[in-house]
């Protein structure tokens, strides 16, 4: 029994298999956001249609649900009604939609046809999306009344998920 | 028809049965040295191959007749794709590709059983047992977690077609089969290695069988890796050919250890040493293919190729763990029975350079493996997500590659065995001329990057040594093959260095009729064209290309819109010449305006050609002369020179 | 409008630029360099320099504008890491990934040295396979 071979081999085997096992069950495409528990990056963007400027700092004192989306994104169409309903049901929470990489005419058309219970702004060069570490759409940030991000949700959000996030910030 | 799926399932279960029985019988026959057992093991090996072939034919038939009651056909079939796409979709998606793996394995086992038996009767039972054990695992995978023959009822009327990326280019047809021929082929030498370890000895006929099967797989794998890079270059649109994506790395790892094994086997044959080490490398090559298939299919790695996670990943991991533990145990138990019957006289000798070659190749393998697996380790340890990408790999691999290139020149220049200092000097000094010449040539043409200049010197040195050796050799065809391979490697490394560091890139936005220049070329955007095919519509940018005033070609990069994909997939267009390529891909396209990426990459075609040369050299080495080469005079005992093969 | 612009500018979380503003060729080259080290979050392993996706182009524009204003590579990378995490750097900051291969190299050289010494010390006479010995004797018989 060659002890050198056995020990080296055992170490390599154990290390490799453990690492690969740990990898199973994790989604390699999901990246944790480092912004959770950090201050929400500041921005001031123009509203679709009216051109009014909306500054996120002006919402200090109210919890904010910040939703990044685009008209070409399928799952965004699915979650839009959820956001609209919840916005109407919770006027104490500020909802804000941010669209980037999109066409203003298409956005206006979408909002007109499907209604909007909250303002939508355009992030023209995607600068705000970058500041928020947005990798795809839709992504939703839950911000508390002090301006700290408490959660980031990747992908379309459901009624239950949204309610549970809101329960946290409304406490 | 429901019957098709059931037939397929039956054939696979048959393969599972046959391979399990054959594996058990093989090992038993080897232990008992039973001729009858060997005969039956062989029959079972052939049966396995036949059953896999039949199952594959059943699947192809289902694909071609658009039998959507078969689950795999429902996943990847489509009535609106061309016939060749349908045929090729056998390997386009997860379950089908595992079935394809089984087919290739079956054919290899049958061929190896048929052609390697003579002279190896005592080892064959163990080898067949090992091969069929692998066969049993893959049959199990196909019968269970990766079953392509599930029945769907009611059968849908049409399917989505295979991944559009696969329909974009004809190279996609060749890459997977060749990759599998290379990958799966590593199972065969692995079987021989296990046999050698179980028997505690390895004789000349077994060495030859192991080397030949290793070389054959190596040839296919080399071409496959090259095709993967070429395909990425022609299709993906960023103008490069290697991004150190985890799955790309997975294909490279066994190639590196196989190359090391081929060299180490030469030392084993000539000097009778490094037996255990060579067998370790052969086992590692097989293990790395299992790791590679895990990496590709498990969905654990963030990659271009990834599939979603399923039960397949854990199943392969269990197999990997089992084979790892088995190999380590077998090696630890038996490596000491493989006695050295020779020695290495001097470190500064050809044998010495082979050892350094092995060191560098194993280091290369280790570095790529660490880089690929590192993000996983970090995430497991502290939950943070990190990336290890091109900048890391490039900076690690370049010095290794240059060192190997130097070795490519020094090694063949040195004689076997101990040599006088004067002889060493006489061998090593003249090629400096070749090195200097190529360096000067490169600098004249504009090379300025320090690593490129070092590469040019090493390359010129290696080329001179190789060409001189080729001129000297007239009789030993195996050596001719080896030097042709070396020639290819030297050319490839130099071409890679030049194409990466002397690349010129420009991003332009052109109105209709407007031109831009890059290098010696002038490109003019003449307009956009829309073209419709049954499975996709394409927006094509027509671009006229002139050089020094003379019209050269029209390039047509495209944006393809597939029904099933939300975002369009761009395909660049490339004008390849022996001096370099002009590469154009679309960043944005409107009827009158095109945003284009223009790249001029020198000598990139030389890379593809050089690898083909490597493959050709391998084939030359593999094919035996009709008459035996005259053996060099049998020397007196104790001279240290063995029988050359 | 001006207020909005001002708010936009002072909203920058990266603090004051610590380097020299760049222009022209140097700016283009440095943008390419730094962009090659940043990972495109929506692509598979490509850098934002290589990726054609709109997200990557936007990020690259951001790098360009930060360089123009005089931010250093460190600051730019820290800015992106703040939003995306270390994932966005294509080369990890941790030294472990450099130490391991170098340690392996040292280990390997040691092994090769030991092997060479051991193999050189082996006895000169080879053990001859009895079949080979028979062949040799036969051949010697026919050629003498």
DSSP line for B314-339 = HHHHHHHHHHHHHHHHHHHHHGGGS-
Tens digit of each residue's pLDDT (9 = 90 or more) over B46-62: 999 999 999 999 999 99
> Does residue B92 have a pLDDT over 70?
yes
CB-side neighbour CA atoms (13 Å) of C78: 11
Token pair listed for B390: 């091109």
- What is the number of residues in chain C? 144
> Does residue A29 have a pLDDT over 50?
yes
pLDDT at A48: 86
Which segment of A47-56, B303-312, B586-595 scores lowest on mean pLDDT?
Answer: B303-312
Query: Is the Cβ pair A133, C85 closer than 8 Å?
Result: yes
Which segment of A48-52, A79-83, C118-122 scores lowest on mean pLDDT?
Answer: C118-122
Which of C52, C112, C121 minimises the CB distance to B355? Answer: C112
Q: Inform me whether the C-beta atom of residue B1 falls under 8 Å from chain A C-beta atoms.
A: no
pLDDT at B471: 86
User: How many folded domains does chain C comprise?
Assistant: 2
C76 and C109 together in one domain: no
Q: Which residues contact B500 (CB under 8 A, 6 or more apart)?
A: none
pLDDT at C4: 45
The DSSP H or E segment spanning B378 is: helix B350-382
Residue whose C-alpha is closest to residue A149's, from C13, B151, B561: C13
Chain A residues near residue B280 by CB distance under 8 angstroms:
5
CATH number at residue C42: 1.10.8.640
CATH number at residue A121: 3.40.30.10
Query: Is the Cβ pair B367, C36 closer than 8 Å?
Result: no
Q: Inform me whether the C-beta atom of residue B313 falls under 8 Å from chain A C-beta atoms.
A: yes
Q: Is residue A83 part of a domain?
A: yes
Instruction: Indicate which of A12, A124, A135, A137 best probes the interface with C, i.e. most C CBs within 10 Å of its own CB.
Output: A135
Per-residue confidence band for B309, with pLDDT thresholds at 50, 70 and 90: low
Q: Is residue A24 part of a domain?
A: no
Q: Inform me whether the C-beta atom of residue B310 falls under 8 Å from chain A C-beta atoms.
A: no
- What is the number of residues in chain B? 645
Q: Inform me whether the C-beta atom of residue C47 falls under 8 Å from chain B C-beta atoms.
A: yes
What DSSP line would sit under chain A, residue for residue? --HHHHHHHHHHHHHHHHHHHHHTTS-TT----TTTTSBPPP-EEEETTT--EEEGGGGTTS-EEEEEE-TT-HHHHHHHHHHHHHHHH-TTSEEEEEEESS-HHHHHHHHHHH--SS-EEEETTSHHHHHTT--SS-EEEEE-TTSBEEEEEES---HHHHHHHHHHHT-
State how far the Cα of B640 lies from the Cα of B265, in Å rounded to an integer. 17
> Does residue B187 have a pLDDT over 80?
yes
Number of inter-chain CB pairs under 8 A, A vs C: 67
Name which residue leads in pLDDT, B323 or C114. B323
Query: Is the Cβ pair C122, B273 closer than 8 Å?
Result: yes
Chain B residues near residue A14 by CB distance under 8 angstroms:
none
CB-count burial class (<10 Å; 0-12, 13-18, 19+) for A155 = middle
Which segment of A156-160, B406-410, B614-618 scores lowest on mean pLDDT?
Answer: A156-160
Token pair listed for B449: 């990057």
Q: Is residue A49 part of a domain?
A: yes
CB-count burial class (<10 Å; 0-12, 13-18, 19+) for B440 = middle
Q: Inform me whether the C-beta atom of residue C129 falls under 8 Å from chain B C-beta atoms.
A: yes
Q: Which chains touch A (3 or more CB pairs under 8 A)?
A: B, C
Which segment of A55-59, B165-169, B419-423, C63-67 scores lowest on mean pLDDT?
Answer: B165-169
What rounded mean pLDDT belongs to chain A? 87
C18 and C81 together in one domain: yes
Q: Is residue C135 part of a domain?
A: yes
Average pLDDT over residues B109-113: 95
Name which residue leads in pLDDT, C140 or A16. A16
Name which residue leads in pLDDT, B567 or B552. B552
- What is the number of residues in chain A? 171
State how far the Cα of B279 lies from the Cα of B335, in Å rounded to an integer. 9
Which of B300, B314, B320 minimises the CB distance to A28? Answer: B300
Q: Is residue A7 part of a domain?
A: no
Q: What percent of chain B has pLDDT over 70?
A: 93
Mark which residues 64-83 of C lie under 8 Å from B by CB: none
pLDDT at B630: 39
The B593-602 sheet, strands edge to edge: B504-511, B593-602, B580-590, B573-576
Phi and psi, residue B107, nearest 5°: -65, -45
- How many Cβ atoms from other residues are within 10 Å of residue B525's Cβ? 25
Q: Is residue A56 part of a domain?
A: yes
SS3 string of C22-72? CCHHHHHHHHHHHHCCEECCCCCCCECCCCCCHHHHHHHHHHHHHHHCCCC
SS3 string of B46-78? HHHHHHHHHHHHHHHHHHHCCCCCEHHHHHHCC
Q: Encode B396-405: b = buried (16+ Cβ within 10 Å), e = exposed.
A: bbbebbbbbb
State how far the Cα of B294 lies from the Cα of B519, in Å rounded to an integer. 44
Query: Is the Cβ pair B367, C104 closer than 8 Å?
Result: yes
State how far the Cα of B487 lies from the Cα of B613, in Å rounded to an integer. 8
What rounded mean pLDDT belongs to chain B? 88
pLDDT at B617: 93
Q: DSSP class of residue B636?
A: P
pLDDT at C124: 57
pLDDT at C125: 54
Distances (CA, A) of B55 to B14, B62, B562: 10, 11, 31
Q: Is residue C4 part of a domain?
A: no
Token pair listed for B163: 């991944």
Q: Is residue C1 part of a domain?
A: no
C56 and C76 together in one domain: yes
pLDDT at B22: 95
Q: Is residue C71 part of a domain?
A: yes
Q: Is residue C17 part of a domain?
A: yes
Question: Domains in chain B, please, with CATH?
Answer: 344-472 (no CATH), 504-604 (2.60.98)
Average pLDDT over residues B430-435: 93
Q: Is residue C22 part of a domain?
A: yes
pLDDT at B583: 94
State how far the Cα of C137 lies from the Cα of C141, in Å rounded to an integer. 6
Q: Is residue A125 part of a domain?
A: yes
Q: Inform me whether the C-beta atom of residue B324 falls under 8 Å from chain A C-beta atoms.
A: yes
Closest-CA residue of chain B to C52: B587
Q: Is residue C75 part of a domain?
A: yes
Average pLDDT over residues B607-616: 96
Per-residue confidence band for B628, with pLDDT thresholds at 50, 70 and 90: very low
pTM of this prediction?
Answer: 0.89
Residue whose C-alpha is closest to residue A150's, from A68, A57, A33, A69: A33
CB-side neighbour CA atoms (13 Å) of C62: 24
Chain C residues near residue B386 by CB distance under 8 angstroms:
86-87, 89, 92, 94
Query: Is the Cβ pair C44, B342 closer than 8 Å?
Result: no
Tens digit of each residue's pLDDT (9 = 90 or more) over B194-230: 999 999 888 889 999 999 999 999 999 999 999 999 9
Do the beta carbons of residue A28 and residue B300 sit within 8 Å?
Answer: yes
C84 and C17 together in one domain: yes
Token pair listed for A111: 């909002």
Q: Inform me whether the C-beta atom of residue B379 falls under 8 Å from chain A C-beta atoms.
A: yes
Residue A161 structural domain: 32-169
Query: Is the Cβ pair B385, A31 closer than 8 Å?
Result: yes
Instruction: Give the residue from C67, C88, C109 where a domain finishes.
Output: C88
Name which residue leads in pLDDT, B173 or B410. B410
Do the beta carbons of residue B195 and residue B138 sit within 8 Å?
Answer: no
Tens digit of each residue's pLDDT (9 = 90 or more) over C60-70: 999 999 999 88
Q: Is residue A19 part of a domain?
A: no
∠ at Cα A26 (A23, A28), nearest 5°?
A: 90
C21 and C80 together in one domain: yes
C119 and C66 together in one domain: no
Query: Is the Cβ pair B320, A22 closer than 8 Å?
Result: no
Residue C28 structural domain: 13-88
- How many Cβ atoms from other residues are within 10 Å of residue B228's Cβ? 23
User: How many folded domains does chain A comprise?
Assistant: 1
pLDDT in single tens digits along all 144 residues of chain C: 554 454 444 445 567 888 888 888 888 889 989 999 999 887 777 889 888 777 888 899 999 999 998 899 999 999 999 989 888 999 888 888 899 999 999 999 999 998 888 887 766 555 566 677 777 777 776 544
Q: Which residues contact A116 (CB under 8 A, 6 or more apart)?
A: A84, A97
Counting DSSP H helices and E strands in chain C, the numbers are 6, 0
> Does residue B325 have a pLDDT over 90?
yes
Which of C4, C7, C62 minimises the CB distance to A130? Answer: C62
The ipTM estimated for the assembled molecules is: 0.83
Closest-CA residue of chain A to B369: A16
Q: Is residue C105 part of a domain?
A: yes
State how far the Cα of B22 lies from the Cα of B136, in Å rounded to an integer. 9
Which segment of A124-138, B175-189, B310-324 scores lowest on mean pLDDT?
Answer: A124-138
Q: Is residue A123 part of a domain?
A: yes
Tens digit of each residue's pLDDT (9 = 90 or more) over B436-487: 999 999 999 988 999 999 999 999 999 999 999 888 876 666 688 899 999 9
Tens digit of each residue's pLDDT (9 = 90 or more) over B371-389: 999 988 888 888 888 889 9
pLDDT at C127: 57
Per-residue confidence band for B493, with pLDDT thresholds at 50, 70 and 90: very high
Distance from CA of C144 to the nearest CA of A (A): 46
């Amino acid at each position: 029994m060659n002890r050198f071979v056995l020990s080296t081999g055992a170490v390599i085997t154990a290390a490799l298999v453990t690492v690969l096992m740990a990898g199973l069950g994790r989604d390699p495409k999901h990246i944790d956001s480092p912004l959770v528990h950090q201050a929400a990056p500041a921005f001031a963007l123009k509203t679709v249609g009216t051109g009014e400027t909306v500054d996120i700092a002006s919402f200090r004192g109210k919890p904010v649900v910040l939703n990044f989306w685009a008209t070409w994104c399928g799952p965004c169409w699915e979650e839009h009604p959820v956001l609209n309903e919840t916005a109407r049901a919770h006027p104490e929470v500020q909802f804000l939609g941010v669209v980037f990489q999109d066409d203003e005419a298409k956005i206006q058309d979408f909002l007109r046809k499907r209604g909007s219970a909250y303002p939508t702004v355009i992030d023209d060069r995607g600068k705000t999306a970058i500041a928020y570490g947005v990798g795809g759409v839709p992504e939703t940030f839950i911000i508390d009344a002090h301006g700290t991000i408490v959660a980031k949700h990747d992908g379309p959000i459901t009624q239950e998920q949204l309610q549970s996030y809101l329960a946290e910030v409304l406490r | 028809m429901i019957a098709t799926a059931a037939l397929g399932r039956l054939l696979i279960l048959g393969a599972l049965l046959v391979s399990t029985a054959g594996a058990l019988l093989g090992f038993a026959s080897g232990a008992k040295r039973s001729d009858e057992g060997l005969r039956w093991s062989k029959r079972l090996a052939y049966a396995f191959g036949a059953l896999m072939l039949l199952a594959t034919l059943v699947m192809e038939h289902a694909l071609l007749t658009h039998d959507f009651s078969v689950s795999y056909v429902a996943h990847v079939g489509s009535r609106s794709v061309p016939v060749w796409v349908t045929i090729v979709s056998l390997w386009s998606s997860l379950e089908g590709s595992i079935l394809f793996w089984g087919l290739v394995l079956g054919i290899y086992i049958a061929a190896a059983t048929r052609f390697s038996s003579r002279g190896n009767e005592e080892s064959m039972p163990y080898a067949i047992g090992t091969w069929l054990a692998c066969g049993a695992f893959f049959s199990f995978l196909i019968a269970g977690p990766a079953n392509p023959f599930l029945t769907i009822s009611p059968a849908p009327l049409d399917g989505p077609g295979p991944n559009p990326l696969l329909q974009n280019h004809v190279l996609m047809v060749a890459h997977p089969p060749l990759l599998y021929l290379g990958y799966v082929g590593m199972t065969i030498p692995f079987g021989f290695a296990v046999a050698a370890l179980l028997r505690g000895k390895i004789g000349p006929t077994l060495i030859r069988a192991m080397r030949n099967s290793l070389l054959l797989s190596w040839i296919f794998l080399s071409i496959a890796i090259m095709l993967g890079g070429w395909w990425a270059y022609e299709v993906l649109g960023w103008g490069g050919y290697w991004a150190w994506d985890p799955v790309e790395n997975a294909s490279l790892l066994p190639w590196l250890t196989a190359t090391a094994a081929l060299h180490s086997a030469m030392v084993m044959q000539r000097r009778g040493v490094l037996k255990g080490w060579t067998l370790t490398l052969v086992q590692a090559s097989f293990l790395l293919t299992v790791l590679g298939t895990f990496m590709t299919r498990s969905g654990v790695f963030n990659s271009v190729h990834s599939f979603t996670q399923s039960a397949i990943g854990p199943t392969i991991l269990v197999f990997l763990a089992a084979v790892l533990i088995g190999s380590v145990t077998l090696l630890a138990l038996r490596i000491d029975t493989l006695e050295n019957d020779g020695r290495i006289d001097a470190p500064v000798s050809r044998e010495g350079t082979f050892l350094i070659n092995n060191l560098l190749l194993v280091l290369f393998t280790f570095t790529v493996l660490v880089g690929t697996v590192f993000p996983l380790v970090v995430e497991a340890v502290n939950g943070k997500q990190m990336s290890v990408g091109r900048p890391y790999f490039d900076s690690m691999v370049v010095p290794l590659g240059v060192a190997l290139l130097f070795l490519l020149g020094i090694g063949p220049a040195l004689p076997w065995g101990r040599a006088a200092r004067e002889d060493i000097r006489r061998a090593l000094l003249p090629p400096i001329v070749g090195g200097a010449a190529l360096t000067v040539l490169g600098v004249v043409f504009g090379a300025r990057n320090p690593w490129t200049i070092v590469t040019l010197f090493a390359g010129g040195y290696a080329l001179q040594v190789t060409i001189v050796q080729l001129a000297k050799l007239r009789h030993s065809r195996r050596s001719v093959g080896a030097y042709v391979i070396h020639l290819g490697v030297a050319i490839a490394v130099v071409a890679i260095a030049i194409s990466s560091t002397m690349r010129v890139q420009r991003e332009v936005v052109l109105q209709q009729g407007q031109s831009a220049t890059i290098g010696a070329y002038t490109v003019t955007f003449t307009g956009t064209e829309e073209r419709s095919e049954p499975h996709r519509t394409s927006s094509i940018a027509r671009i006229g290309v002139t050089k020094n005033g003379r019209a050269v070609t029209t390039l047509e990069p495209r944006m393809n819109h597939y029904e099933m994909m939300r975002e369009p997939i761009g395909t660049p267009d490339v004008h390849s010449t022996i001096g370099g390529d002009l590469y154009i891909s679309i960043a944005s396209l409107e009827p009158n305006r095109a945003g284009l990426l223009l790249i001029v990459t020198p000598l990139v075609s030389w890379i593809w050609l050089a690898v083909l040369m490597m493959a050709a050299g391998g084939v030359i080495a593999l094919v035996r002369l009709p008459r035996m080469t005259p053996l060099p005079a049998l020397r007196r005992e104790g001279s240290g020179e063995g029988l050359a093969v | 409008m001006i207020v909005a612009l001002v708010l936009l500018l002072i909203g920058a979380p990266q603090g004051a630029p610590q380097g020299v503003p760049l222009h022209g060729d140097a700016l283009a080259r440095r943008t390419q360099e730094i962009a090659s080290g940043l990972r495109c979050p929506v692509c598979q392993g490509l850098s934002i320099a290589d990726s054609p996706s709109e997200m990557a182009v936007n990020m690259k524009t951001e790098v360009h504008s930060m360089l123009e204003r005089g931010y250093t590579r460190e600051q730019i990378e820290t800015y992106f890491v703040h939003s995306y995490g270390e994932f966005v750097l294509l080369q990890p900051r941790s030294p472990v990934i450099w130490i391991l291969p170098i340690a392996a190299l040292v280990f390997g050289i040691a092994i090769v040295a030991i092997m060479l010494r051991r193999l050189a010390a082996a006895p000169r006479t080879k053990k001859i396979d009895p079949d080979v010995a028979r062949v040799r004797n036969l051949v010697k018989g026919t050629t003498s």
